[in-house]
Amino acid sequence: MITTNVIHRTFHIRIGDSIATCFTVDLDGKQYLVTAKHVVKDISDKATVSIFHDKQWKNINVSLVGHGSGEIDISVLCADFQLSPTYPLETSMGGIIYGQDVFFLGFPYGMTGELGKVNRNFPLPFVKKAIVSCINTAPNGVQMLFLDGHNNPGFAGGPVIFKEPNGKNFKVAGVICAYRSEEEPIYQGTQKVPLAYRCNTGIIIAYGIKHALDLINNNPIGFKLTS
């Protein structure tokens, strides 16, 4: 069962013509908004983005905390008000196990659920399940998770959550960024034709949440929480 501290922190976001997912994290008494870098790559300082609330898109002002360097597909923003309740949600891969089940949340193809006031009139995100297929920390410090599951457009920027064995509380391990696709040939009977289709391989790519925390620690300008 996905708990309210995860659901209430997950939002449907729109930047220009792109729709995606984002989520809040709290660090040192300040709140931040985490998403995938490829979604907000054109933001360099201050910008207006849209959050879906009460069945409509509403503009909010954000400032850029930082973009992940190089291949790291994570960006952190901060709004000029508190977006979510401060229910505790730890941000760490500590205790994650190779081969365990994890979950990820988001809004595939812009699809949403509805719980009304139970979710403060924000849309309910979809939840999907995956398996930790591989964990990779490169020599340059880039931390990645490869998951076995089925990702869809719209989940980018969503949180990857898990529980430690016998643990009671969810943690955020990473940020959904993409899925691996491959071109597969098309056959007519036994004859291959000069066409191909792009196949979702089921390999999901996520970057470790540590990269979001690094960006925050380098530029801690988040909205100061009062409660």
pLDDT tens per residue across span 167-181 = 899 999 999 999 988
Per residue in 18-51, pLDDT (tens digit) is 999 999 999 999 999 999 999 999 999 999 999 9
Report which of residues 196 and 54 the model is more confident about.
54
What are 158's two structure tokens? Answer: 């969503």
Give how far Cα 41 sits from Cα of 38, 64, 72, 113, 178, Å: 5, 10, 12, 28, 15
Q: Distance (Å, rounded) from C-alpha 15 to C-alpha 47?
A: 10
Per residue in 69-93, pLDDT (tens digit) is 999 999 999 999 999 999 999 999 9
Beta bridge partners of 223: 31
Nearest to 203 by CA among 139, 156, 146: 146
Spell out where the chain has E strands: 10-15, 18-27, 30-35, 46-53, 56-67, 75-79, 90-91, 101-106, 126-137, 143-148, 159-162, 171-188, 191-208, 223-224
Whether 36 contacts 159, CB under 8 Å: no
Domain ranges (residues) in the chain: 4-224
Backbone angles phi and psi of 114, in degrees to 5: -140, 125
Per-residue DSSP letters for 36-93?
A: -HHHHTT-SSEEEEEEEETTEEEEEEEEEEEE-STT---EEEEESS--S-----EE--
Q: With cut-offs at 50, 70 and 90, classify the pLDDT of residue 192.
A: confident
pTM score over 0.85? yes
pLDDT computed for residue 227 by the predictor: 64
CATH of 4-224, one of 2.40.10.120, 3.40.50.1820, 2.70.98.60, 3.40.50.460: 2.40.10.120
